[in-house]
Structure 1
Amino acid sequence: MAIRKKSTKSPPVLSHEFVLQNHADIVSCMAMVFLLGLMFEITAKASIIFVTLQYNVTLPATEEQATESAFLYYYGIKDLATVFFYMLVAIIIHAIIQEYVLDKINRRMHFSKTKHSKFNESGQLSAFYLFSCIWGTFILISENYISDPTILWRAYPHNLMTFQMKFFYISQLAYWFHAFPELYFQKTKKEDIPRQLVYIGLYLFHIAGAYLLKFSLWAVLFVLGRLLTLILSVLTVGFGLARAENQKLDFSTGNFNVLAVRIAVLASICITQAFMMWKFINFQLRRWREHSTFQAPTVKKKPIVTKGRSSRKGTENGVNGTVTSNGADSPRNRKEKSS
């Protein structure tokens, strides 16, 4: 008898299910096109815009500065192409973490659908936050922001950035832009999409704002907590930049140190931190209520026992209204025997 094989029908090419199942391979092929373009002279000039950082400036190295600090960068419109390429890289890394780490844990833990999606989201963000914290700490140490925090406002405007500082910004923007197509790839529920769009938009707003306005604060935000973020922001934007000599809006030199911009930056940071704390407190309160409701003991109702002659008579005559088969208990039978 022949063994019947299971029919494994692959979905049609470029269909909805095909894209969802093979989106990592499709994105990998797109990234390989840009990398292969570097090998040919005709396409190298176009591919290098996507792969490498643009707008580099070579300055002569001094004795006080390290040799690598002579290669500095500023931003421009070509950075959007670089962000797009590393957005593809972020999608590939997202798929690798999902397949080789999170999916294996999900199979062992047997989570429900709701916990499954929450675990995937938390796992991806935890990996990204850990990587960003390590990288941000390295930038703080190498750029001497910890030993001399006055550099944050004393050297403003930060027109030029080191390679690792610019690459950090590009990576952060690429990661949060990759979160938009991941809503489609991960089959996110419609009721969860508005919540994710809110915090994705907030992250992009603050990272892009710090990048375009030349405030080197985002590396600090990942390392320090919410309270230290507010303190450092007020210290840098509220006091440090307010005492700077040049407080005129000048687009040519990249100087945005004016009162209106400082107020907008501080207001956005404070509102965002307050919103995050409000969401965190509400989450903890809801979790505490659910836990207390689950732990509350259920009161068992005692069966009501009716005392009286009617109930006793019913049990003597039979069960549930039926007469017992024993006729010795009947008073009528006793009277017949006496006669």
Structure 2
Amino acid sequence: MGFRKKNKSPPVLSHEFVIQNHADMVSCVAMVILLGLMFEVTAKYAIMFITVQYNVTYTEYRSEPINFYDYGPKDLATIFFYVLVAIILHALIQEYILDKINRRLHLSKTKHSKFNESGQLAAFYLFSFIWGTSILTAEEFASNPTLLWEGYPHLRMFFQVKFFYICQIAYWLHALPELYFQKVRKEDIPRQLNYICLNVFHIAGAYILNLHRLGLTLLVPHCLVELLFHASRLFYFSDENKQKGFTLWALLFVMARLLTLTLSVLTFGFGLARSENQGFSFSEGNFNVLTIRIGCLAAICLTQAWMMWKFINFQLKKWREHSQNQASKKKITSPKSRPSKKESNRGNSVNGVVKLEERTSPRARKAKAS
């Protein structure tokens, strides 16, 4: 990892050098941006990377001003900076937590990579679930689903909501270079690319189309389900007998898919379809037209169907493995059909004396044979 000291350093700017020291390099870039705050000439550019942009303050009819935020092109600079932060945090978690646990467990290469993947995602989903839940409890639309579509377009966001989306997009974008930094196996890259692209597509889509209320409401249960899955997988790698978490995950997974489909159909099929403010205006942030509604609903439904398909295949695989293990255990515990030599000898002897056929002596049998 980036922060670990190596006895033998590879050639400078080689692949191994970049992989081993990528966190240090990224830290230097982040420090350069932070140092830009110290100088008046560069401060206005550095702030664009570090702080959330497009602040709008409302003071009418209120004693205290309220700050809201829009989105715009400058958000790309903010996302870039927090991609760097995510890479640094990834390296810290890997080196100071996951690598130490891996040394104790002595896992195989396949389990080692899966353990690292689940460890990183479990930490991310735990943080996202706690943060998202705190935002939902503070917002009114958590208890009133009609606010998911009433008053659309929802142009204004609170600081926590916008920063939450910035961090979500930054995390999933940072996962792309991590495929190279973590030396992910070629056979695992397509699966992880699909996972990353789907997350970026849906989160960025909700952010750009001013559907951040619906997106946040759907993200929180999704984070809970994924957190439970990766935590269960971590416990499974530490002890293969600990599989009860997968049962709870399977139940919550199906419930989360049903909740996602229900809220999506209500929002796009009924709420926005009956809204008075329909039309397409990029300047006003209004995307409430039939084509976009159908496209969004189709994208969500197809994603949920794909996730259910993967879920069913996963459960069938687990069921086959369980049935094979049970069959192998029965073969081991079942008595042998053929008796052993000792048992056959014991069967032909009484009190240690061998029984002769037809009570004849060896000489008599030899005479008969002749």
Band of TM-score, shorter chain: 0.7 to 0.9
Runs of 4+ in 1 over 4 A off after TM superposition: none
Quote the residue 1:248 is aligned against.
Answer: 279
| 2:44 matches 1:41 | no
Q: 1:301 to 1:100 in 2, by over 3 A?
A: farther
| Kept after mapping to 1: 8 A contact 2:50/2:78 | yes
Match of 1:51 in 2: 50
Q: Give the alignment partner of residue 161 of structure 2, picking from 158, 165, 168.
A: 165
- In structure 2, list runs of 5 or more residues that go unmatched: 1-5, 222-255, 342-361, 365-370
1:257 and 2:292 aligned: no
Select which of 170, 194, 200 maps to 2:196.
200
Using the TM superposition, give the Cα deviation of residue 138 of structure 1 relative to its aligned residue in structure 2, in angstroms: 1.2
State the shift of 1:52 in Å: 0.8
Q: How far is 1:215 from its partner?
A: 0.4
Gaps of 5+ in 1: 1-6, 306-328, 332-339
What is the SS of the residue equivalent to 1:298?
helix
**Length-normalised TM-score, structure 2:** 0.77
Counterpart of 1:151 in structure 2 is 147
Distance 2:27 2:119 in 1: 22
Q: CA deviation at 1:205?
A: 0.7
| Superposed displacement of residue 252, structure 1 | 2.0
1:147, distance to aligned residue in structure 2 (A): 2.7
* TM superposition shift of 1:232: 1.2
Summarize the Cα distance change of 1:285–1:108 in structure 2 as closer, same or farther, 3 Å threshold. same
Deviation of the 1:258 alpha carbon: 0.8
1:272 to 303, 308, 315: 303
Q: Distance in 2 between matches of 1:200 and 1:111?
A: 26
Helix, strand or coil for the counterpart of 2:187? coil
Q: State the identity as a percent.
A: 68
Q: Aligned partners of 2:53, 2:337: CA distance in 1, in Å?
A: 75
Q: What amino acid is the match of 1:13? A: V
AA matched with 2:331: T
Tell me how far 1:330 sits from its aligned partner: 11
Aligned partner of 2:215 in structure 1 is 218
**Closer/same/farther in 2, CA of residues 301 and 259 from structure 1, 3 Å limit:** same
CA distance in 1, matches of 2:120, 2:53: 29
> Is the partner of 1:256 in helix, strand or coil?
strand
Q: Indicate the RMSD between aligned Cα atoms, in angstroms.
A: 2.1
Corresponding residue number in structure 1 for 2:262: 231
Q: 2:322 — aligned with what?
A: 291
**Larger Rg: 1 or 2?**
1
The answer to whether the aligner puts 1:84 opposite 2:80 as a matched pair is yes
Pick closer, same or farther for the CA change 1:180–1:147 going to 2, 3 Å.
same
Contact 1:213 1:256 in 2 (8 A): yes
Of 285-294 and 193-202, deviating more is 285-294
Distance in 2 (alpha carbons) for counterparts of 1:93 and 1:61: 41
* Cα displacement string for residues 148-184 of structure 1 (whole angstroms, at most 9, x for unaligned residues): 2222111210111111111011001000000000000
Structure 2: how far apart are the matches of 1:330 and 1:28?
97
Q: What is aligned with 2:173? A: 177
Question: Matched residues in 2 for 1:62 and 1:148: separation?
Answer: 25
- Partners in 2 of 1:155 and 1:195 — Cα distance? 38
1:21 and 1:303 map into 2 onto residues whose CA distance is 61
Instruction: For 1:90 and 1:163, locate their aligned partners in 2 and report how far apart those are by CA, in whole Å.
Output: 20
Name the structure 1 match of 2:18. Answer: 19
Aligned to 1:29: 28
Q: Which amino acid aligns with 2:51?
A: T
Q: Is the 8 Å Cα contact of residues 152 and 236 (structure 1) preserved in structure 2?
A: yes
Greater per-residue helix proportion: 2
Give the C-alpha shift of residue 304 in structure 1.
Answer: 9.3
- Shift of residue 21, structure 1, vs aligned partner: 1.1
Instruction: Name the SS for the 1:246 alignment partner.
Output: coil
Distance of 1:304 and 1:143 partners within structure 2? 76
Q: SS of the residue aligned with 1:129? A: helix
Q: Quick check: 1:71 aligned with 2:99?
A: no
